[in-house]
Homo-oligomer: A and B are copies of this chain.
């Protein structure tokens, strides 16, 4: 049974001789840690220490190991590392879509902050579909993500259950609600639209239209609509159904919406609140075409403060949120969790109103 003298792993056979040595080995032929150990004349444990706890290795030995690794062009295999240490050095983020600048810049902020700490970010897009988000989260859990960020809280309970079950620290981003059971890092969508609506009411507006993204499965947009409605209600006002337009986040949708609002039989609104700058840009564009004077005849507001919004005519009243900062703060929070710090209650970022030319006193 045991007449073969060569112990398969730690014994010293040359790197090249390896593949021929035994029939059982399935190896890839790549340089591995033990090759480096052999060349440096140290144990595998020492090589590992050089890369994980360098202060515990003498300078001379460290130097020798680094030389050997360089000579063999070796670097640690992440799968082996992850398996042995139960640390994957991976974090995940789920966003609705990269096609929206606000999410892209949030990813960008997180990516940079994580990379600085040697953590790789893996990205999943849900396309605004809760089922897809759940699938992505499960896949990331399987990958062994150490932390996760996810946009919004309108997700299946199983999603958060899974996160808790696996004890993966996570944060809900982009949205912020004080009452949320999750750690939230973002802004209060409800409050932001309250502020915007109050701005218009203060200007004397009493008749409103709303052009907004799909509310389905989207807590952020729902909160915005709720903010508008609550504020109007407080002033004894409401949006007529025919002045409530819901559709995709495009210039084209904004144009279509204003046309239908203008052609409706009911009294025309004096203000249009849009779900974001894209839609507002479309409304402005269509207004120009219909010969509607902005803001004299109609006030228009957006959200996001795109670079273009202060350059067009008339310049667009909108709100600005630093989404890059949201990403950075989220990464910092998650890194703190990984470092064993106590959990925060979340972090509220301000949405800042930018009053420009597209809003003015109501004409009626």
Q: Which residues of A come within 8 Å of B, CB atoms?
A: 2, 7, 9-10, 12-17, 26, 28, 30, 52-53, 55-56, 73, 75-80, 82-83, 85-88, 97-99, 101, 104-105, 107-108, 111-112, 115, 117-118, 120-125, 136, 138-144, 146, 165-167, 169, 250-251, 278, 281-282, 285, 307-308, 311-312, 337-340
Contacts and interface: CB of A to CB of B under 8 A. Distances in A.
Contacts of A88: 78-79
A281 to B, nearest CB: 6
Given A16-B340, A308-B251, A52 B108 contact: no
A52 B10 contact: yes
Contacts of A251: 307-308, 311
Contacts of A105: 98-99
A88 to B, nearest CB: 6
Contacts of A281: 308, 311
A346 B82 CA distance: 35
A108 to B, nearest CB: 4
A111 B94 CA distance: 12
Contacts of A123: 107, 111, 121-123
Contacts of A7: 52-53, 55
B311 A2 contact: no
Given A13-B338, A339-B12, A339-B13, A77 B139 contact: no
Given A86-B14, A101-B101, A104-B98, A125 B111 contact: yes
A87 B17 CA distance: 13
Given A75-B141, A282-B311, A340-B12, A97 B108 contact: yes
A53 B339 CA distance: 40
Given A78-B143, A80-B83, A107-B123, A307 B278 contact: yes
Contacts of A76: 142
A77 B14 contact: no
A2 B181 CA distance: 43
Nearest to A79: B82
A271 to B, nearest CB: 21
B311 A77 contact: no
Contact of A2 (B13, B56, B97, B122): B56
Nearest to A30: B166
B122 A121 contact: yes
Given A14-B86, A98-B108, A120-B140, 17 more contacts: A2-B56, A13-B339, A17-B167, A75-B138, A78-B143, A79-B80, A79-B82, A79-B83, A79-B88, A79-B144, A80-B83, A98-B107, A108-B125, A112-B125, A115-B125, A251-B311, A281-B308
